[in-house]
C-alpha cells in the first residue's frame, strides 16, 4: 500500500518494489524502486497518470479500491515501457469507459505490446490540453527520454510536472517527497547514467522547454516526488552539459596480477598529478557505479589481460557499456598485458566508435611489468595530465 496525498485531490497510488534488484535483467537496483501512479480528481473528470509494472497490479487495484475510485475517464500514458503501461489493460477492464490518452507513437507501441484496441485511445499532440473541470492537463511531447514515444504531462493549476522516467530514481522509500536532496542525488544520478545519458542531447533541449513552465512539484514515475524541483533540474543541467571533470576512470580486470599492477601504478601516478581516479575491478564492481562515474569523467582507461587473442570478456562488457551509454568522455586509452600475442587494443578501440574521444597511446606489455613498462605508464599519466590541462578543468 502506498497512497499519499500530493496535493488536494491528487494522490500517489502506485507501488513500492522494495525487493527488486535487477531491471531489464541488466541494471542493478541496490535500493529497489517504485512505480508511481498519480490519481487526479477534477470537478468533472478523473485521470490516472501511468500505471504500474504488472507484477504490482494488485497493489494499484487495491489502492484505487481504498480511495473508492468509481470512475476513471482518462489513463494518461506518458511512456509505453511496461513498468508504467503494463497494467493499463487491467485498469481498462475495471473502468471500461476510460480512454488511454497518449501521442500517436506511444499509441502504436501500446497496441503492439499490450494488444490494447484502437477504440480505447484518445491521441494528443504537443501542447494539447484536456480539462478535468477545475484542473487542466497539458501534454508536452518529449521524445527520447528514453524511448522515442515519451511525453510529459503538466497539471497547470497545481503546477505539477509528471515526467514519467525523466528525473526518476530507483529508490524505494516510504516517504512520498524527497526529504534530503543529497540523499536522492546519487540514486538520481545513477538512474540518469543508466537510462538517460545516451540521450543527453535530446534531454538538453527538453530541459530548455521545461524551464518555461512554472513548476512547483516534479512527480516522476520512479522514486520520491520533488517539492524542490530546482535541485533536480540543476543536477540534470550539470549532467547533460558539455563540461567534464578532472577525472580518470579505470575499469579493469586482471587474471594473474600483471594488469592489476599496471592499474595500481597508473592510479598512483595520476593521483600524484592531482587527478581524481576511479578504478573499477570489473569482477567485483556494481556496473551501475561505473555508469555513474562515466557521467562526469574526462578520460577512460580500460585495463585488460589477453584471453584467446582478444580482451578479457569483462573488459569487452565494460567497453560495450561505455560505448552504449555515450558519456561525454574526451580521451580514452587501454592498458594491459599478453603472454604470446593478440589483438586486444584493436578489438577494444574498435568498440568505442560512439565516443568522441581522442585515443591516447595504449600501454600493452608482455608478461609482468618491468622498469621500462612502468616508465611507459608514467608517460601515459603525463600525457593524460597534459591533455586534461588543455580542457581548463
Ligand atoms: Fe520506467 Fe522506461 O520505464
Query: Would the CB of 189 count as within 6 Å of ligand 1?
Result: no
d(CA 248, CA 241): 18
In contact, 45 and 131? CB cutoff 8 Å: yes
Q: What are the sequence ranges of the domains in the chain?
A: 4-240, 248-385
Q: Please give the distance, rounded to the nearest whole angstrom, from the Cα atom of residue 196 to the centre of ligand 1.
A: 10
Q: What pLDDT does 28 receive?
A: 87
45-59 mean pLDDT = 98
d(CA 38, CA 6): 9
Does the domain spanning 248-385 belong to CATH 3.40.50.360? yes
Query: CATH fold of 4-240, please?
Result: Metallo-beta-lactamase; Chain A (3.60.15)
53-74 mean pLDDT = 97
Query: Would the CB of 194 count as within 6 Å of ligand 1?
Result: no
Q: Which band of pLDDT confidence, cut at 50, 70 and 90, is reported for residue 26?
A: confident
Distance of CA 15 to the CA centre of its chain: 20
First vs last Cα of the chain: how many Å apart?
Answer: 48
In contact, 122 and 74? CB cutoff 8 Å: yes
Q: Please give the distance, rounded to the nearest whole angstrom, from the Cα atom of residue 362 to the centre of ligand 1.
A: 38
Q: Please give the distance, rounded to the nearest whole angstrom, from the Cα atom of residue 76 to the centre of ligand 1.
A: 15
Smallest CA-to-CA distance from 322 within 186, 146, 193, 145 is with: 193
251-280 mean pLDDT = 98
Q: Please give the distance, rounded to the nearest whole angstrom, from the Cα atom of residue 145 to the centre of ligand 1.
A: 9
Q: Please give the distance, rounded to the nearest whole angstrom, from the Cα atom of residue 26 to the centre of ligand 1.
A: 13
Q: What pLDDT does 342 receive?
A: 87
1, pLDDT greater than 70? no
pLDDT > 70 in the chain, percent: 100
Q: What pLDDT does 27 receive?
A: 83
d(CA 222, CA 2): 13
Relative to the CA of 164, which ligand 1 atom is closest?
1
84-110 mean pLDDT = 98
Q: Which band of pLDDT confidence, cut at 50, 70 and 90, is reported for residue 64?
A: very high
pTM: 0.95
9, pLDDT greater than 90? yes
Relative to the CA of 150, which ligand 1 atom is closest?
2
Q: Which band of pLDDT confidence, cut at 50, 70 and 90, is reported for residue 22?
A: confident
Angle formed by the axes of helices 287-294 and 313-325, nearest 10°: 40
51, pLDDT greater than 90? yes
Query: Would the CB of 373 count as within 6 Å of ligand 1?
Result: no
Query: Would the CB of 17 count as within 6 Å of ligand 1?
Result: no
Query: Would the CB of 81 count as within 6 Å of ligand 1?
Result: yes
Amino acid at each position: 500500500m502506498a497512497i499519499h496525498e500530493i496535493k488536494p485531490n491528487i494522490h500517489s497510488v502506485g507501488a513500492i518494489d522494495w525487493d527488486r534488484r535487477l531491471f531489464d535483467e541488466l541494471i542493478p537496483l541496490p535500493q529497489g524502486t517504485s512505480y508511481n501512479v498519480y490519481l487526479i480528481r477534477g470537478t468533472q473528470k478523473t485521470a490516472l497518470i501511468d500505471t504500474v509494472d504488472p507484477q504490482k497490479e494488485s497493489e494499484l487495484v487495491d489502492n484505487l479500491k481504498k480511495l473508492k475510485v468509481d470512475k476513471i475517464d482518462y489513463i494518461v500514458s506518458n511512456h509505453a515501457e511496461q513498468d508504467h503501461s503494463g497494467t493499463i489493460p487491467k485498469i481498462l477492464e475495471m473502468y471500461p469507459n476510460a480512454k488511454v490518452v497518449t501521442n500517436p507513437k506511444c499509441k502504436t507501441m501500446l497496441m503492439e505490446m499490450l494488444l490494447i484496441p484502437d477504440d480505447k485511445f484518445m491521441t494528443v499532440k504537443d501542447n494539447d490540453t484536456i480539462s478535468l473541470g477545475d484542473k487542466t492537463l497539458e501534454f508536452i511531447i518529449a521524445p527520447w527520454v528514453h524511448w522515442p514515444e515519451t511525453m510529459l504531462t503538466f497539471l497547470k493549476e497545481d503546477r505539477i510536472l509528471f515526467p514519467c522516467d525523466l528525473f526518476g530514481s530507483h529508490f524505494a522509500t516510504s516517504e512520498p517527497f524527497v526529504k534530503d536532496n543529497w540523499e536522492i542525488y546519487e540514486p538520481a544520478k545513477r538512474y540518469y547514467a543508466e537510462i538517460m545519458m545516451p540521450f543527453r542531447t535530446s534531454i538538453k533541449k527538453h530541459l530548455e522547454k521545461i524551464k518555461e513552465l512554472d513548476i512547483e512539484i516534479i512527480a516522476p514515475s520512479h522514486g520520491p516526488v520533488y517539492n524542490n524541483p530546482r535541485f533536480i533540474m540543476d543536477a540534470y543541467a550539470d549532467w547533460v552539459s558539455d563540461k567534464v571533470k578532472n577525472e580518470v576512470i579505470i575499469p579493469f580486470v586482471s587474471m594473474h596480477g600483471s594488469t592489476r599492477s599496471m592499474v595500481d601504478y597508473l592510479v598512483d601516478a595520476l593521483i600524484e598529478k592531482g587527478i581524481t581516479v576511479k578504478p573499477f575491478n570489473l569482477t567485483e564492481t556494481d556496473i551501475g557505479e561505473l555508469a555513474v562515474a562515466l557521467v562526469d569523467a574526462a578520460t577512460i582507461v580500460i585495463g585488460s589481460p589477453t584471453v584467446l587473442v582478444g580482451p578479457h570478456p569483462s573488459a569487452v562488457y565494460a567497453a560495450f557499456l561505455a560505448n552504449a551509454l555515450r558519456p561525454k568522455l574526451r580521451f580514452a586509452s587501454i592498458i594491459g598485458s599478453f603472454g604470446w600475442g593478440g589483438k586486444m587494443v584493436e578489438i577494444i578501440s574498435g568498440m568505442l566508435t560512439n565516443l568522441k574521444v581522442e585515443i591516447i597511446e595504449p600501454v600493452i606489455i608482455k608478461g609482468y611489468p618491468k622498469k621500462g613498462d612502468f616508465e611507459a605508464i608514467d608517460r601515459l599519466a603525463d600525457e593524460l595530465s597534459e591533455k586534461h590541462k588543455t580542457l581548463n578543468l
